Amino acid sequence: MLRRLYDAVLRLSASRHAPTALFAVSFAESSFFPIPPDVMLAPMVLTRPEKAWRYAAICTVASVLGGILGYAIGYFLTGFGHWLLSLMGHAEGQEVFQQWFDRWGLWVILIKGLTPIPYKLVTIASGLAQFSFVTFIIASVATRGARFFLVAFVVKRFGPAMLPIIEKRLALIAGLVVAAVAGLLIWRHFA
């Protein structure tokens, strides 16, 4: 079933409704949908490289808006949020998420927002932990934007052959971006 869903999303990337579908998939993936928008973004950029930045912006905006829905699910619909997380294999409960965010907070969103780890896990858990909504939004815009603009850049510049390399080294890239953000925050604090 997941393969058919994946193939359907890929076919949507070639339709005349592709930008609208890209928005919908990006929105839904942030709170409940299993297929990441990169599946549509990459072929759309290959087909229309002059629209790469527009497509990356669509992914970013929709993903953050979908993230707000995920946050709301965790914050207002706690039982439903726990159920969704258990479906994704994370039935640890609210105490675990609260400890996770109390200890790591912003870093959870920065690291997981860039990597292929399901972003919906972060959005719902952020709401369950009642993490700062403003910090959640800022971190989501930064990480989701970085991820989608990186995918658009790589596909536009190097073509599809580079995507497997990026996916393989995404943890390293995410670590470098997080280190750069941390360095900037430390520099601003002490400057």
Q: What is the mean pLDDT of residues 114-133?
A: 79
Question: Predicted confidence band at 48 (pLDDT cuts at 50, 70, 90)?
Answer: confident
Taking the CB of residue 56, how many other CB atoms lie within 10 A of it? 27
Residue 125 has pLDDT above 60, yes or no: yes
**pTM score:** 0.73
Burial of residue 172, with CB atoms counted within 10 A of its CB: 0-12 exposed, 13-18 middle, 19 or more buried: exposed
Q: Check if the beta carbon of residue 21 is closer than 8 Å to that of residue 15.
A: yes
Cα gap 169→186, rounded to integer Å: 26
- Supply the range of the domain harboring residue 55: 2-190
Q: Which token pair is 164?
A: 């497997």
Per residue in 138-178, pLDDT (tens digit) is 989 988 998 899 889 988 988 767 666 655 665 565 555 55
* 52: Cα separation from own chain's centroid: 18
What's the N-to-C CA distance of the chain in angstroms? 53
Average pLDDT of 94-115?
A: 65
Residue for token pair 């294999």: 89
CA atoms of 177 and 11, how far apart (whole Å): 32
Domain count across the chain: 1
Over residues 6-42, the pLDDT tens digits come to 567 667 777 888 899 999 999 998 887 777 888 888 8
Q: Is 94 exposed, middle or buried (0-12, 13-18, 19+ CB in 10 A)?
A: middle
Please report, as a single letter, which amino acid is at residue 54: R
